[in-house]
Amino acid sequence: MSNDRPSDQDRPNLEQGAAPNTGGQGKYPPGYDPVTHTYTPPIGPDGRPIYPPGYDPATHTFKRPEPSSAAAGCPVDHEHRHEYQHVPPALDADGDRRTMIVTGASRGIGHSIVRKFADEGWRIITISRHAFARNSCPWEAGPEDHVQCDLGDREQVPLAIIDIKRRIGQGKLHALVNNAGISPKGPAGERLNSLTTPMYTWMQVFHVNLLAPILLAKGLFDELKAGHGSVVNITSVVGTRVHPFAGAAYATSKAALTALTREMANDFAPHGIRVNAIAPGEIITDILSPGTEEKFLPLIPMKRLGRPEEVAELVHFLCSEASSYITGEQININGGQLL
Ligand SMILES: NC(=O)c1ccc[n+]([C@@H]2O[C@H](COP(=O)([O-])OP(=O)(O)OC[C@H]3O[C@@H](n4cnc5c(N)ncnc54)[C@H](OP(=O)(O)O)[C@@H]3O)[C@@H](O)[C@H]2O)c1
């Protein structure tokens, strides 16, 4: 899963100074919220934000220090070490390891989702077109649990399902996050509207953004049922109104995914599987078009773009017991963009 961009993988330096917002544990820099993994910098006397060492304001990431549990004040528990990071595995009520699938995990929102769930001790099976890249994906079992698949290829998706079933081995699937999505532009980067979108593009977009989610959920139905699983479909703010950058095929595929979420929730609920959607607004990832910030900051009441890790927190909520009676919902995460 190669990625040339700086990833959102990195957390603040645990060796840094006092942390007024973390109970004075001294683990996090001021302004960092370890619950949401977000960072709001303090403002200096000149009115400019003050960033701590290692923080990159362009990508909202910290350069990760060398992992050292002892330095963070946590003794290493060798008995509960597992293949991702040195956190205890997340177990379900039967004592089975919580297992999930995330599509499009190589960068952006998907990458943040994997980091969040890895930190929580889940086993994560990832899907994307590219091979696993050790240098940008710090979860240990990645190469063994990565499925290389083009979700736009109707012949590859069934093969990926067979591969995943083999990996799970008639076990449980506790979550399926349909995150991969594409938003093609014209040759000069222009928006493709309903008159200018080529037929091939319509079909490719709908296969990746709409059909792959239902093919995966249906193909892995038995495993999801066994795990009382949660399906989360990543839709978009563009499903409800015309957007200056997102094209007609993308927007309509996301609107259809919202409708599919509703249908799936109704059909899967009797089998103990919840299905919900998350509709992000403008989140800082590769998918954004140049000029997004200039265009949208005046329109977003919170006056900033969203961060992938903020979406990941919401995905985790929808895959946890905390949301056990929520199904068929779409939750917006957009800083108030639709108000
Ligand atoms: N960022 C936003 O502002 C925003 C707003 C609304 C909704 N969303 C939605 O959020 C989801 C994640 O978006 P993002 O911003 O994180 O996008 P991104 O940075 O462009 O990442 C897209 C991911 O999808 C994978 N992918 C793309 N085509 C694929 C294919 N044919 N088969 C398998 N994997 C494929 C990519 O991996 P490979 O290249 O390795 O295949 C990559 O990991 C998408 O569904 C997007 O529509 C994003």
Q: Give the tens place of pLDDT for each residue, 26-42.
A: 445 556 554 444 456 66
pLDDT band, very low/low/confident/very high, at 77 (cuts 50, 70, 90): very low
Contact 285 CB / ligand 1 (< 6 Å): yes
What's the one-letter identity of residue 149?
Answer: C
| Chain segment 115-153, per-residue pLDDT in tens | 999 999 999 999 999 888 766 666 656 667 999 999 999
Looking up tokens 């493709």 gives 192
Range in 40-49, 71-80, 100-109 with the lowest mean pLDDT: 71-80
Looking at the CA of residue 111, tell me the nearest atom of ligand 1: 43
253 Cα–ligand 1 center, Å:
13
- Asked whether 181 lines ligand 1 (CB < 6 A), one says yes
Evaluate: CB of 309 within 6 angstroms of ligand 1.
no
Q: Is the pLDDT of residue 202 over 50?
A: yes
Cβ of 288 closer than 6 Å to ligand 1, yes or no, is: yes
Average pLDDT over residues 211-224: 98
Nearest CA to ligand 1 atom 41: 129
Ligand 1 mutation target, pool 129, 164, 288, most atoms within 8 A of CB? 129
Q: For residues 114 and 105, what is the distance between their CA atoms, to the nearest angstrom?
A: 7
Our answer on whether the CB atom of 283 is closer than 6 Å to any ligand 1 atom is yes
Radius of gyration of the chain (CA): 20
Q: How far apart are CA 18 and CA 3, in angstroms?
A: 33
Q: Has 55 been annotated as catalytic?
A: no
Point out which residues pair with 126 in neighbouring strands: 102, 146
129 lines ligand 1 (CB under 6 A): yes
Atom of ligand 1 nearest to the CA of 308: 16
- The pLDDT mean for the chain works out to 82
> Are 175 and 319 within 8 A, CB to CB?
yes
Report the side by side order of strands in the sheet with 274-280.
146-148, 123-128, 99-103, 175-178, 230-234, 274-280, 330-333
What angle (nearest 5°) sits at the alpha carbon of residue 168, between those of residues 269 and 145? 115
The rounded Å distance from CA 255 to ligand 1 centre is 16
For the chain, give the percent of residues with pLDDT over 90.
66
- Tell me, what's the pLDDT at 144? 75
User: E strand or H helix at 332, and its extent?
Assistant: strand 330-333
pLDDT of res. 171? 93
**Number of the ligand 1 atom closest to the C-alpha atom of 2:** 40
CA distance 39 to 60: 8
- The CB of 208 under 6 Å from ligand 1? The reply is yes
pLDDT grade for 55, boundaries at 50, 70 and 90 = low
The preferred substitution site among 179, 185, 241, 250 for testing ligand 1, maximizing ligand atoms within 8 Å of CB, is: 179
Predicted TM-score (pTM) of the model is 0.79
Most confident by average pLDDT, 3-7, 55-59, 114-118, 252-256:
252-256
pLDDT of residue 68: 36
Ligand 1, closest atom to CA 283?
3
Going by alpha carbons, the residue nearest to atom 43 of ligand 1 is: 104
CA of 180 to the centre of ligand 1 (A): 4
Is the CB of 3 inside a 6 Å radius of any atom of ligand 1?
no
| Dihedral sign of CA atoms 240, 268, 283, 302 in order | positive
**Structure tokens of 306?**
């969203």
Instruction: Please report, for residues 183, 245, 262, the alpha-carbon distance to residue 288 in angstroms, rounded to integers and kept in the order given.
Output: 9, 8, 27
Instruction: Return the axis-axis angle of helices 108-119 and 308-318, rounded to nearest 10°.
Output: 50
Label each residue of the chain as H, E or C.
CCCCCCCCCCCCCCCCCCCHHHCCCCCCCCCEECCCCEECCCECCCCCECCCCCEECCCCEECCCCCCCCCCCCCCCHHHCCCCCCCCCCECCCCCECEEEEECCCCHHHHHHHHHHHHCCCEEEEEECCCCCCCCCCCCCCHHHEEECCCCCCCHHHHHHHHHHHHHCCCCCCEEEECCCCCCCCCCCCCCCCCCCCHHHHHHHHHHHHHHHHHHHHHCHHHHHHCCCEEEEECCHHHCCCCCCCCHHHHHHHHHHHHHHHHHHHHHHHHCCEEEEEEECCECCCCCCCCHHHHHHHHCCCCCCECHHHHHHHHHHHCCHHHCCCCCCEEEECCCCCC
pLDDT of residue 132: 80
Task: Please give the number of the atom of ligand 1 that sits closest to the Cα of 209.
Answer: 45
Highest mean pLDDT among 11-15, 153-157, 175-179, 285-289: 175-179
Catalytic residue among 28, 84, 250, 325: 250
29: CA distance to ligand 1 center in Å? 31
Nearest of 116, 157, 145 to residue 308 by alpha carbon: 116
**Mean pLDDT in residue range 157-161:** 95
Q: Is residue 52 within 6 Å of ligand 1 at its C-beta?
A: no
Give dist(CA 277, CA 329) in Å, integer. Answer: 6
- 3-state DSSP assignment of residue 102: strand
pLDDT band at 170 (very low <50, low <70, confident <90, very high): confident
pLDDT at position 285, please? 92
